[in-house]
Every structure is written in structure tokens, then in C-alpha cells.
Structure 1
Amino acid sequence: MKKVLLLLIIVISVSCKNETKKGVKQETIVEVKKENFPVELAKVFEKHGGIDTWRKAQILSFNKGEEVHTVDLKSRKTVINSPKYSLGFNGKDVWLSEVEKGSYKGDPAFYHNLYFYFYAMPFVLADDGITYEKTADLVFEGKNYPGYKMSFKANVGSSPDDNYKIYYNPETYQMQWLGYTVTYRSKKASDKFKMIKYGNWNNVNGLILPSEITWYKTDENGVPTEPARPTTVFTLPLISEGKLADSFFEKPKN
């Protein structure tokens, strides 16, 4: 709870500092990183608010059920708070803190940034060390969705053999589907893609981020058929250009 309150205080403070005083002209110089994306993928990023807007953001927070996920977008330090446990990544180690031993049943190392990747689509696929290649369209309910396959260069991230496929609406360029492989536990490359359908979206300080996602079953050809589980809903989204202290991401002492 203390960490959530600290996040709110910092966001309010930053908002106040950003108010321009009457009669005072403020000039901001922002360095823009030169990007090199495929043209169609660049249009997808633009549809979702633009890479420049994403690059300026410092902190991302969202709720998944009782969990509050908070991420430093530059360092990718992470904290997940819930009533029974908290876990996170302080830039060096993944940690877990439980109210009662055994409260958390998963693998913190696997879980700490899992939903961040799903929530921050498509922008996490603009990270350094990613290669892009056109892939065959996804056909769902008679409609074609063009797509790109993304893979990581060697030694990038905790699972460099993971692959992603992003599919978008050819008329609006809004992201519609995500295909992804999981190699974290096996450490072996896979050509079997899990599929997520992106439904509703929220405008969060200029960035278009998902309010819900749904995993789908697939047939023998990897084409989605029907929902595999209930829809995952995200609430209370927050994007801030303010920074959080490094201590925010450390394991609680008690």
C-alpha cells in the first residue's frame, strides 16, 4: 500500500510541476531516437499513440484483478503488489515477499514481467535488439490480418529464443492479435505459437493500451478457433513521465 501511495504522490507532483506559469515561455528540447521499423509496423505504432510518446514515458502502472503492476519503462524494474504478496525485479534480482508463506503459487522469475509484455503491446516490440520480418496473414472469421514476426538477437532478454507475431487491422492499423512462443522453462526454441486476441482499448495519456485480452485455442495450423479461457481485464491504467526512486522496486524489509 505504501508503494502505491508513493506512486500516486509522485504522479501528482510531476503533474503540478508541468503546469506552465502565466507569462513564462518554456522551451523543451527532446532528443528523438532515430527508428528503423518496417513501414506498416511504424503505422501500427503511430495508431497506438506513436513511438515518441512511448519513449517519453517513464512509469507504467495497471491493475490485473487485485494485483497492481508498476514498471520503470527505462530500466524495466518491476513491482507487483497484491493483498497477500508482492514480487518484483530491482534491476538485478527477482524477489518475492509474502504475507503468509505459500501465498504465492507461481514462479516470480517467469511472472514478474509477463503481463507487462502483454499489456505494453505493441510498444515492447520496439525495443532494441529485435529483428522484423513479414509473415503470412492471419485469417480469422473470413478476414485477413497482415502481420510481422519479431525475434530477439542473441543474448537479448531473459528468453532470447522467444518469438512474437503481431497482426493488425489492414484498414486502421490497430493491433488485433498477438502470437508468441514460450521458451523460459524449456530453453528450447519453439514453432508453436499461443494466440491472444486484443479487444477493447484505452487512451492513457495519448497511448492506446489494451483494456482486455483473450487467449484463443488454435487448430492444427495454428489458426485461432475459440476462446481458451475467460477474458483478462486490465483496469486503472497510468502513464507518467515522472521517475520513481530505486527503493520503490526493492524487496520490503518486513
Structure 2
Amino acid sequence: MKYFYFLIVISSFLACRQPGEANVKKVDGPNQFPKAITEVFKAHGGLALWYNMRSLEFEIQKQDQNELTITDLKSRKSFVDLPNHSIGYNGTKVWLLNKDTVAYKGNAKFYHNLMFYFFAMPFVLADDGIIYSEVKPLEFEGKQYPGIKITYSSGVGESPDDEYVLYFDPKTNQMVWLAYTVTYFSKEKSKTYHFIKYDSWQSVDGLKVPKTLVWFNYENNLPTTERNRLEFTEVKFSETPPKATVFEKPEDAAFVD
């Protein structure tokens, strides 16, 4: 029940980031991004290497059975295999397959790319339509983390008023915190920030990607104590796209409105 509540909370965060073909660039252009975010990208392996990858797989550790996610990094088609269900996005629609009589309690349309978006930080913050600005550093347990605010141009996604702040280590330039607001359900600009700590990283094929994420409780727009923790395992990249059949709706599945 605790994990289910956790998924409802984070689902609202990414509801605004609707599926669509990724904007693939070939290299890190010298003037394409502000210097601070460029250095963060470089610290994680660089955009050139990220853009060369076409397929991504990872698992999320769970008590009963690990959750598998497969993503086409160009089209952003996705497949998520859970213990009792499978969710897919075929490039146009999201579908849901019930493997048994257990009803799916989440929102498949929100969840199909949810964990991909968390995992793909900081690289997804190079998508088109983003506006970057500096913010006051975050201070936590006596250490300061410089921040880069992320906002969206009008008309980008269903909730362009959402805001994100990437906080990074000033010595390594690695991402440490993600702060975010949620406006999808209220349709009103929010001043309340939620916080995720990117607690540990792993190197896979030259890219530094998340290993452990920690969601924090918050007060007065500052993180306080740990609430939930997720770990990513079995990470695989490939320069070859996944088979298209992976994302096709099975006969027994149903499209989700």
C-alpha cells in the first residue's frame, strides 16, 4: 500500500510530459545550452554518446518481482512489464494488458514512461522547448548545490507551467537533486516543490546513470527526511533500436483513454 501511494504521488509529477518522438541531436553544440547544464551533461557522459543510443532497458527492484522497462530512445515508445500487468506505448496510444484477475490500480497512461523519465535524468533536460535559468543554491546538511531552473515554452506538454530545478555537485558537476512542482491536476501554477535525491550513480557504456533515487519529505520548499527509495538494476543500452513488436498491443490488451 505504501508503494502504491508513492506511485500515485510521482505519477502526478510526470503526467505533463506526454509521449512523442525525441528530438535527436548529434553533438553537444558549444552554444546550444548554458555552460552549467552543459557541464552536467558532460559529467554524465555527454549528449553525443546519449544520442547515439537507440535502446534502453532497466529493472526496478521490488519484493515480489522486478519491474522491467524497455524504451526506444528516439521514438520514446515504451514497454513496462509488471508482475500482474504489462503497459506499452506504440507511438500513438497507450495499452494495458491484465495478466490475471488483479485489477491495475494506477494510471497506465501516466505510468508508461514515468520511470524512464526519472532514469534518463539529466539527459531528458536537453529536450526542445526548455528554458534554463539560474536559481539560489540548495543547502542540505551543510553543503550547497548550485541550481539550474527548467521551465517550458508555452504549449510544450499539457502542463507547461510545471517547473523543475536540477541541483548539482559544484566539484564533480554531477546531478544530486531534482526539485519539481505539479500543476497537471489543478491546472494552476504551483509554488510547492517536491524533492528527489539522486543518491548514487552507475556507469553503463560510458554513461553515468542513476542507481538509487530517494524521495524526500519537504517543508518550506526544502527537503527534510527520506520517504521512499528505488533502485535501478540490469541497465542495458544499445545503438540498435528495440524490435517494433515489443511495443505493439497484444490481442488481449486494451487501449487506454
Name stretches of at least 5 consecutive residues in structure 2 with no aligned partner.
Answer: 1-24, 253-257
Name stretches of at least 5 consecutive residues in structure 1 with no aligned partner.
Answer: 1-29
Residue 185 of structure 1: how far off its partner (Å):
2.9
Distance in 2, matches of 1:56 and 1:158, equals 28
After superposition, the Cα gap between the structure-2 partners of 1:203 and 1:33, relative to the gap in structure 1 and judged at 3 Å, is closer
Normalising by the residue count of structure 1, what TM-score does the alignment of the two structures yield?
Answer: 0.83
Normalising by the residue count of structure 2, what TM-score does the alignment of the two structures yield?
Answer: 0.82
Match of 2:27 in 1: 32
Distance in 1, matches of 2:246 and 2:158, equals 22
Residue 215 of structure 1: how far off its partner (Å):
0.5
Asked if 1:50 corresponds to 2:46, the answer is yes
- SS of the equivalent of 2:83 reads coil
Match of 1:168 in 2: 168
- SS of the equivalent of 2:51 reads helix
Contact 2:77 2:90 in 1 (8 A): yes
Contact 2:84 2:102 in 1 (8 A): no
**Aligned residue type for 2:40:** V
Match of 2:200 in 1: 200
**Aligned residue type for 1:145:** Y
Q: How many residues align?
A: 223
Contact 1:136 1:146 in 2 (8 A): yes
Residue 184 of structure 1: how far off its partner (Å):
2.9
Residue 247 of structure 1: how far off its partner (Å):
2.5
Distance in 1, matches of 2:174 and 2:71, equals 24
- Per-residue CA deviations over 1:219-252 (Å, capped at 9, x if unaligned) read 22x11111022x1111101111101233221221
Contact 1:110 1:184 in 2 (8 A): no
Match of 1:252 in 2: 250
- SS of the equivalent of 1:234 reads strand
Distance in 1, matches of 2:129 and 2:67, equals 30
RMSD: 1.7
Distance in 2, matches of 1:53 and 1:141, equals 34
Distance in 2, matches of 1:185 and 1:108, equals 16
**Aligned residue type for 1:214:** V
Which of the two has higher C-alpha Rg? 1
Asked if 1:224 corresponds to 2:220, the answer is no
Identity %: 44
Residue 159 of structure 1: how far off its partner (Å):
3.4
Report which stretch shifted further, 69-78 or 159-168.
159-168
**Aligned residue type for 1:43:** E
Q: Comparing both chains, which one has the higher relative contact order based on Cα–Cα distances under 8 Å and sequence gaps of 6 or more?
A: 2
After superposition, the Cα gap between the structure-2 partners of 1:162 and 1:88, relative to the gap in structure 1 and judged at 3 Å, is farther
Contact 1:78 1:89 in 2 (8 A): yes
